[in-house]
Amino acid sequence: MTRHFLADADLNPQEQADVLNLALNFATNRHLHQPFAGPQGVAIIFDKPSTRTRVSFSVGVAELGGYPLIIDSSGSQMGRGEPISDTAQVLTRQVSAIVWRTFSQAGLEEMAHHSRVPVINALTDDYHPCQILADLMTVAQHRGGVEALPGQTLTYLGDGANNMAHSYLLGGATAGMHVRIAAPEEFHPRPKIVAQAIHVAARTGGSVTITTDVAQAAQGADVIATDTWVSMGDEESAHIRSRPFLPYQVNAELMALAAPDAIVLHCLPAYRGKEITAEVIDGPQSVVFDEAENRLHAQKALLTWLVNNS
């Protein structure tokens, strides 16, 4: 059976741990495995702009022995309305995996339905699961390994209705973490995803907290995470959209509430003075550039694991 990675919950706790351990091994030996040696092609499709996703998947596929085939939908038949099912059936006959950064989760799922090779969610409006694998790997690096993840408290502040919050809920719960989301009430995560995360956490020993209370969320947290307040496509309303999030800024005052050795995550791009202050993101508790590097290692581990298990 072909395995896909369309959302965080597509890996069970043991599978997630296996991928994260493999990612840590890739960090110490970048050419540890080369499942695409030949080279075999991997299609990497972009409907949205990207820096980290484009670089990490391109370099990652090359380091796995393969050929990264970059496809911008505007320059392909996909951008002219070709059915996803047709694209999937063409690609699946020529490449060994499909990576897609797009808007619609339903479209990604349709691609997977018609594909005989692994399909990976490189970001949709609903989830950003590859980023969360890199984030969990980063926490593991700074806490003594993957086995240290269960019981860690991860607090995310800001837009709780976006793809990062949804993936923190599912990915963190799968890892057995205590996930706290602090956001304005009108920007709380989707109830269906919260319910799914609570169900997963009940099996892993983790927990889920959704609140508007910044202090409650940050108190004693081991990991503080945030994301831009203005997602791609909302730039024109940035000044209006940002107002509700001002109390949720990650700054020195907020960090004083967290555990003394708390680390700070941000998936980038970051807007200093908005969702996070410069003294925090550029300070000693920030691990955001480890996090950015780990996109490479985590995605190589994911690709290798999917190919080996499909």
Active site residue 101: yes
Active site residue 105: no
Query: What does the block give as tokens for 135?
Result: 């984030």
Question: Which of the residues 16, 40, 131, 249 is marked catalytic?
Answer: 131
Active site residue 282: no
Contact 88, 62 (CB under 8 A): no
Question: Which of the residues 33, 178, 266, 267 is marked catalytic?
Answer: 267
User: Which positions make up the binding site for carbamoyl phosphate?
Assistant: 50-53, 77, 101, 128-131, 267-268, 295
User: Which positions make up the binding site for L-ornithine?
Assistant: 163, 227, 231-232
Contact 168, 201 (CB under 8 A): no
Active site residue 227: yes
Question: Which of the residues 227, 266, 297, 299 is marked catalytic?
Answer: 227
User: Which positions make up the binding site?
Assistant: 50-53, 77, 101, 128-131, 163, 227, 231-232, 267-268, 295
Question: Which of the residues 4, 33, 266, 295 is marked catalytic?
Answer: 295
Active site residue 272: no
Question: Which of the residues 33, 128, 180, 297 is marked catalytic?
Answer: 128
Active site residue 267: yes
Which residues are catalytic, by number?
101, 128, 131, 227, 267, 295
